Amino acid sequence: MQVEIFCDGACSGNPGVGGWGSILRYGDKVKELSGADGQTTNNRMEMSAAIGALEALTRPCDVVVTTDSQYLVKGMTEWIHGWVKRGWVNSKKEPVLNRELWERLMALSRMHRITWVWVRGHNGHVENERCDELARAAIDSYRLGAGR
């Protein structure tokens, strides 16, 4: 069973109000997800988009996650192994930012076989553009609901 996930995060101010959007596609079935946070960063929203989509899966899958976040792709394919070996300290000997989200992604990676793919953002990639729309709509909804 192969699932395609497309995800994107956005932030109005960094830090500021943030939103994320994801699309899950399995064959001809498509599901859109989104969420928001009142005080966050763009990187946290990028990660939250992937987490939200992966947590929506109900059984182990082969997954291709496509994102415009090099932070997310490099974090999951290059950096995370070194962070774990060094006790969650980065190459500058500082604590890794967003550790709790990286740990959630690492746990989800044990449940699924994930391929991480980077695409250039805002470059006409249909699903990436739609995820950006979902993320920005989540920001707008958050602001309306919070009275801001």
Whether residue 60 has a cis bond before it, omega within 30° of 0: no
CATH of the domain at 90: 3.30.420.10
| 145 a catalytic residue | no
The mean of the pLDDT values for the chain is 96
What does the pLDDT look like over 95-133, one tens digit per residue?
999 999 999 999 999 999 999 999 999 899 999 999 999
Query: What is the gyration radius of the CA atoms in the chain, in angstroms?
Result: 15
Question: The domain containing residue 56 runs over which residues?
Answer: 2-146
Catalytic site includes residue 52:
no
Average pLDDT in the 67-95 region? Answer: 96
8 is in an annotated binding site: yes
Q: What is the pLDDT of residue 89?
A: 96
23: nearest Cα among 134, 109, 136 = 134
Count the domains in the chain: 1
Reported as half-sphere exposure (CB side, CA atoms, 13 A), residue 115 has a value of 7
Name the catalytic one among 8, 19, 35, 52: 8
Tell me how far apart the alpha carbons of residues 117 and 106 are, in angstroms, rounded to a whole number. Answer: 16
pLDDT at 147 over 70: no
Q: Is 68 a catalytic residue?
A: yes
What's the pLDDT band for 55 if we cut at 50, 70, 90? Answer: very high
Is 0.75 surpassed by the pTM of this model?
yes
Confidence grade of residue 136 (pLDDT, cut at 50, 70, 90): very high
Known binding residue 46? Answer is yes
Percent of the chain past pLDDT 90, that is, above it, reads 95
Q: Which of 9, 21, 52, 75 is catalytic?
A: 9
The answer to whether residue 140 is catalytic is no
Predicted confidence at residue 148, as pLDDT, reads 54
Catalytic-role residue among 18, 21, 37, 68: 68
